[in-house]
Each structure stands twice: as C-alpha cells, then as structure tokens.
Amino acid sequence: MKTESKAKKFFGSKTFTLLLLLAAMVIVFTILSGGLKSIKGSFIDPKNLKQVIAGMSVVSVLTIGAGCLLISGQVDLSAGGIGTLSALLFAHFYSNWGIPLIISLIISLIIAGAIGYFNAILINRLNCQGFITTMATALVCTGLTYVLSASGDGILKNIRIENEAFNYIGTKSVLGGYVPVIVLIALAFFVVYGIIVSQTKFGRSIYLVGGNPTASHLAGINPKRISNILFVNSAVLGGVAGIFYTAKMKQGSYAGIAGNQFAGMTAAILGGISFGGGSGGMVGAFIGLLILNAFQNGVTIIGVPSYWQQVASGLLLIVALSVDFLAMQRKAAGLRRTVRRGQAEKAAAAEGGDK
C-alpha cells in the first residue's frame, strides 16, 4: 500500500513529467538523426551522448547557483560576469604572479564570494532591486575583466595555465573515455547541493523564504540572512564555473562564461524550479540541464540552422515558463479552495454551536 502510494506520488511529480519530456526528446532526436537505421552518428551514439554530458560541466554549477536563488525567490544576473572575472584573477595569480595553484584558486573564489556579498548588501540592506543590481555588478565585472586583460598595446590577452593536473581535470575523460573528469566533479556538486537543499534545515529555510517570506519570518527564519548566503553561494559557484571553463580552455580568458549565464537559469527553470520561488529542487535542475543539453545537441546534429536553433531554444523556455505559470495558478486555485472550504466548515461548526 505504501509502495503503491509512493509510485503514485512519483507519477504525479514534476520529476516524472521532466523525465517524460526528456524521453520524448531522446526519441524524437534519435528518429530524426537516423537512429532507427544505425546508431552510429545518431543522437544515441555513445560518442554523441558523451558530448551531451560534456556540455554540462560549466553550466551545471551555474544552474545550481541560479536554482538555489530562484527557490528563494531571487535572481542573480552577475554569476557569469563574476565567474569570468574570478577565473581571470585565478589565471593571473597562478601564471603571472607564481602563487601556488590551490592558493590562487582559494583567493579567486574568496573574491567571487566577496562580490556576491556586495550584491547581497545592496539588495538586502539598501533594498536595491535584485535584477538591476546584479545586472550592474555583471557590467562592472565585465569591465574589470577587460581592464585586467589589456596588455600595454591595448590588445586583450588570454593568460595560459600550464599545470598538468589542472589541465587533466579540464580536458581528460574517464570510464572508458566517456565521462569527462570535470563532469564528475560537477555531478558531485549536484549531489552535495541536492542533499543540502532537500535534507537540511537550511535547505527547508530556502523553500520557506521563497514560498512565503512573511511566514518564514514568523517561523523565526531571517530571510535576509538566507538571501545573503545564497548570493554569496551563487557568486562562488559562478567562480567555480569560471575555473571549470579555464581548465577546459587551459587559459584564463576575458571572453569567459558570461554567455552561459542564461543557460544556467534556463536549465533551472526547465527543471521545474519556479520563477516565483518556493518549489523545485536539484534533481529537477539536473534533469533540466540534461534536457537543455540534449536539446541543443539534438538540434545541432539533425542540422537545424543556427538561427532556428535560437528560435527553438527560446520556444522551449517559453513553454517551460508557461507550464510553471499554469502550475502556480493551479496551486493558488487549490489553496483558495482549501481556504474557502475551511471557512465554510468553521462557519458551519459555529452555527451548530449556536444551536
């Protein structure tokens, strides 16, 4: 009986819906890429699936950072810019100043965290609008990235990283050459954050803050403190994404990961994390990321022209947002019904008491 209700719960869950969508996507792309005739060169060719997985590394940490903030009802548009800047600083520290790799890494992530805290102060203490504040921070970081990259002749330069272990992490694969090392690390991040968000008191606080900040305050949670932590977290994860990118490219670069910022948010939203806050989770975000990567890879290998790929990606996000909106409306309608029923029952009980 318990098993039956668990199964019922699973089939009615967001995760099941997402898996259904992913399965539909895999089937469509496999057919369109000729997978019914031969696996080789099709979407489900293991070599191609490796690329779907490989594309997850940089965006995955951005998805986690964006996901946590979205659950709390906030948004951070600066994670990509912060990530690019801190990765470039890391390259500077290590390659130009000769600071040991691990120390360079720690310092650059601390700087990323400090910028995230700066965001948090502006938003939570000075009550600046989060969307605009983080957009401005992103601009500042991009500008600083250019300043740091400019050489004497005014040309922007990349900074090479020559460290065997670091480059191994960025470029090599394990498990028969099918799983990039960097993706394994990204998966570890998903597991750790999945546990934090779903199994800890702090994780539950994030949901409460996102779902109903007033109620969370009444429950003894300090929403601003949670928000501060999440902005710092988002920035540090941006820094990690930048380091991942640096490891892949073997160089610190001014171009960086700003272009991946929206992919991270898209994956989180596709994965069922509500833009309104209070719902979704890391499992969904992970599947959302898989959907996004599978979609991008699929449209490329079936030969959809680039312009149309953008149209299709945009459509996918619109559909995901619409589903999210419909679900929120349904939830609100359900709540209204419950409240009305409760009030009616209360009124009936009061009437009975009077008699």
Site for another protein in 52-71 (CB under 8 A): 54-55, 57-59
DSSP code, position 179:
E
Map residue 251 onto helix, strand or coil.
strand
Is residue 311 a contact point for another protein (CB under 8 A)? yes
Q: How many CB atoms lie within 10 A of CB 311?
A: 12
Nearest-CA neighbor of 298 among 20, 38, 52?
Answer: 52
Task: Kindly identify the residues of this chain, within the stretch 260-279, that bind another protein according to CB under 8 A.
Answer: 260, 263
Which string of x and - marks every residue 192-211 that binds another protein (by CB under 8 A)? --------------------
Residues 113 and 232: beta-carbon distance below 8 Å: yes
In terms of CB distance, is 18 or 232 closer to another protein? 18
Which of 88, 254, 269, 286 lies at the binding interface for another protein (CB under 8 A)? 254
Least distance in Å: CB of 295 to another protein? Answer: 8
Site string for another protein, 110-139 (x = CB under 8 A): -----------------------------x
Please identify, using beta-carbon distances, which residue of 24 and 121 lies nearer to another protein: 24
* Element containing residue 182 per DSSP (H, E): helix 181-199
Among 312, 317, 321, 328, binds another protein (CB under 8 A): 312
Q: Between 139 and 348, name the residue whose CB sits nearer to another protein.
A: 139
> Nearer to another protein by C-beta: 149 or 228?
149
CB of 330 to another protein, least distance (A): 7
* 333 interacts with another protein by CB under 8 A: no
Interatomic CA distance for residues 288 and 315, integer angstroms: 15
**How crowded is residue 43: how many other Cβ atoms within 10 Å of its Cβ?**
24
For 35, residues 6+ apart whose C-beta sits below 8 A from its C-beta are 29, 42, 43, 44, 45
Question: Per CB under 8 A, does 174 bind another protein?
Answer: no
10 binding another protein? (CB under 8 A): no
What is residue 260's DSSP assignment? G
Q: How far is CA 315 from CA 209, 270, 289, in A?
A: 30, 12, 16
Cβ at position 326, least distance to another protein in Å: 7
User: Does residue 98 interact with another protein by CB under 8 A?
Assistant: no
What DSSP string describes 271-330? TT--TTSS---HHHHHHHHHHHHHHHHHHHHTT--HHHHHHHHHHHHHHHHHHHHHHHHH
Q: Which stretch binds another protein (CB under 8 A): 102-110, 209-217, 230-238, 255-263?
A: 255-263
- Closer to another protein by Cβ: residue 212 or 309: 309
Residues 234-253 that bind another protein (CB under 8 A): 245, 248-251, 253
